Chains A and B, each alone.
Chain A
Amino acid sequence: MTFSTAGRTVRPPRVGRTARVVSTLAAGLMVSGVLAACGGSDDSSSSGGSYKIGVEIDQTGRSKASGVAQLKGMTAAADAINKAGGIDGHSVELIVRDTASDAAKAVSAYSDLKSQGVSAIAGFLGSVDLGPVVKRAKADNMALLATGSPPDLLDPKNTVFSTVANVNAQSEATLSYIKNRMDDGDVAPEGRVGILRYATPAGEQQSVALAAKAKELGIDIVTEQTAPPGAASLSSQLQTIVDKKPDAVIFLVLESDLLTAVKAADATGLPKDTPIASWAFASSPSSLALVAKSGYHDIAASANLQSPSAAEQSDGLKAYVTAAKAAGLDPGSTQIPEGYAQTMIAAAALKKCGYPCSSKDFIAALESTSTDLDGFAFGPITYSRDEHRGFTAMRFVTSTDSGGIAYAGDPIEIISK
């Protein structure tokens, strides 16, 4: 039906077949995207069944930037293991579920993965994914390998294992780094430090740990400012820090927030030669180079693992670089090394466990595992029945003028061996 109006033919609104076709196409696009995100790694080398590792990780929620990168690293590691013949002839299969940083989806994904008979579940970028499934995992004897576990969940009574230096340890390490700089005369002996951290439950736990560590090291925390993750502006917090005239500043935030913080520091007039220390999230060459562009050249980030841009190259680092390049990835990208390391730690436990490996046997195997990933880590990654934090050492890295990475000082022990 058509209408003639002002000499022009007008069609009534069309909501017909074309709309349905476009909607179907769009829905198909979305479904294919989700399926791609939920795909597993290649298990073509399998000769006698495969080890199944579940992965719960954010691919579409607020932590998708870290989640997508971590999964790429995990998949690169699994592919490298499988291409080398698997673990004693058994390939590693990753079964991936997107949590979208949503508690309900995390619980649903957990039930799904458990029903598929996985040996352990890895991924877990933060407490939103991890928290809701901890009790279930404990009841089921299911190991949860996490890159973002709050310290309280790493209590050995739970089945949570950290596959990076946990944030409390990293936060305390930033104070140790500043203390070393004080001892070297780079930071005033008064050690007046301003801190920016997240206003989250985990942030509150860090605050307690930081206060104790600062007292131990003789550091004066002159102000501790808080902000939610992804804050639109950090100028107010930085203004407070600048007003206190600190000798050094610690930013306990993710890398995108670190850039925001540094730009806010510039806007509020923090002197450009102020030493700044941060978490490992900013330890990639690209991140440090971006931060250095702001003019703050004395900035260091803790690093869990050796950097591909640094001069020192262990066998473990070379293997990582080879695996990342084979997967078409930039080895220097953020969170890809952490994903790779997580799969390699799981593989070390699986090798010790033998095939098949039940979830209960996996826990027993992991609790007797100690590896430094062939030198990729700065010290042993050791788990036991009483210790699930794993990483025992980390090191600080800075950006060089050529855009590379240099180590700042010696490795810092974060857990007594």
Chain B
Amino acid sequence: MTAASLVSLVASAMLLGSVYSLVNLGVVLLVRTTGTMNFAQGEFIMLGAYVMSALGPSMGYWPGLLATCVVMASVGFLGYYLLMRFLHGGSEFDKVVLTFMLSIILTQAVIMLWGTDPREIAPATRARVPLLDTSVQATTFIAIAMTVAIAVGLVLFLSRSITGLRMRALSADESLAEYYGIRTEVLSGLAWAMAGVCAAVAGVIYAQGTAVALTLPEILLLAFPAAVLGGLESFEGAVIGSLVVAGVYTFTNYVLGGQWSIVIVYSLMLITLMVRPYGFFGRPVAQRL
């Protein structure tokens, strides 16, 4: 392997790691704030990409991305307000089932609005940054910067702000939080809107390196092992787990070929579940009997 190849592979792994991180940040956010494992996050990502593919060409990349974030925040909030809200205080299982239903509704909406042909998102820039004796696409660095900004923002928001603290209380016990005067519906709606923004950015970054297609939600299946590795309730874990999984995936592909990469990534998840079921950055939950 040449130095140029190594640089290129590391850049690819970082880009993929950024996408996985953004996917998982949305998942972890909802787990930590509402206790909901959102299996429609993949469809949120797909919808974000389709919205950007529609808005980007006329508005330009950055205004288009901003508008996409607003649209997806609204979709997230509406998804909560029109569906999830009615399971307030209900079991986790019921919520998970409802997110599956939400995923079907979102997919059908995309097919009705945009059909089945793939679409494209043009990158913010086609510039390349010279590095050693090769060059890396500038969009890779933009993606990494956006991921870091969102991850740091979420950590600070949940740990340093009153609203963030209330969201965490919500996750611990939804009913009790409401009895203590926390506006649970508003906060849950806000959490869903924030997850929508994460999905919008993830969808745009992911789709500009692939295609805007109905296959985009499958990213959740690939990103999920990273969330398990890091711990489903840790933002830091979600990011680090994502980078580890993306690195393993990329270099396994290069060295062993595509037929092995997914096997190895899922084996990694299996081993993690056996050794540390709560992930490397999660905390074991003690229960008084």
Contact = CB atoms under 8 A, between A and B. Distances in A.
Contacts of B82: 22
A23 B178 contact: no
Given A69-B115, A235-B15, A269-B135, 8 more contacts: A22-B86, A227-B258, A233-B250, A236-B250, A236-B253, A267-B8, A268-B12, A287-B118
- Secondary structure of the B side of the interface? helix
Contacts of A68: 111, 116
A65 B214 contact: yes
B179 interface: yes
B105 to A, nearest CB: 7
Given A236-B251, A256-B118, A29 B105 contact: yes
A263 B126 CA distance: 11
Contacts of A353: none
Interface in B203-218: 206, 208-211, 213-215, 218
A259 B118 contact: yes
A231 B258 contact: yes
B259 interface: yes
Contacts of A69: 115-117
Interface of B: 1-2, 4-5, 8-9, 11-12, 15-16, 19, 82-83, 86-90, 101, 104-105, 107-108, 111, 115-120, 122, 134-135, 137, 140, 174-175, 178-181, 206, 208-211, 213-215, 218-219, 222, 249-251, 253-254, 257-259, 261-262
B161 to A, nearest CB: 19
B179 A10 contact: yes
Given A232-B19, A237-B258, A256 B89 contact: no
A333 B117 contact: yes
Interface string A210-244: 00000000000000011110111101110110010
Interface stretch (A1-9, A111-119, A135-143, A167-175): A1-9
A105 interface: no
B104 A239 contact: no
Given A65-B213, A260-B209, A15 B88 contact: yes
A15 B116 contact: no
Interface of A: 3, 5-6, 8, 10-15, 18-19, 22-23, 26, 29-30, 33, 60, 62, 64-66, 68-69, 199, 225-228, 230-233, 235-237, 239-240, 243, 255-257, 259-260, 263-264, 266-269, 284, 286-287, 290, 293, 330, 333-335
Given A29-B105, A236-B253, A333-B116, A13 B111 contact: no
A330 B12 CA distance: 36
Contacts of B107: 60, 64
What 5 A-B pairs come out closest when comparing CB atoms? Answer: A13-B89, A236-B253, A235-B12, A227-B258, A259-B211
Contacts of B251: 236
A259 B120 contact: yes
15 contacts: A5-B179, A6-B180, A11-B178, A12-B89, A33-B104, A33-B108, A60-B104, A62-B218, A226-B259, A227-B253, A255-B211, A256-B118, A266-B137, A290-B118, A330-B115
B123 to A, nearest CB: 9
B101 A233 contact: no
A256 B116 CA distance: 11
A257 B215 CA distance: 10
B231 to A, nearest CB: 21
A231 B265 CA distance: 13
B118 A232 contact: no
A330 B117 CA distance: 10
A126 to B, nearest CB: 14
A269 to B, nearest CB: 7
Between A236, A269, A333, A334, the greatest number of chain B beta carbons within 10 A of the residue's beta carbon is seen for: A236
A63 to B, nearest CB: 9
Contact of B120 (A8, A230, A293, A330): A293
Contacts of B108: 33
Contacts of B262: 228
Contact of B249 (A233, A243, A255, A263): A233
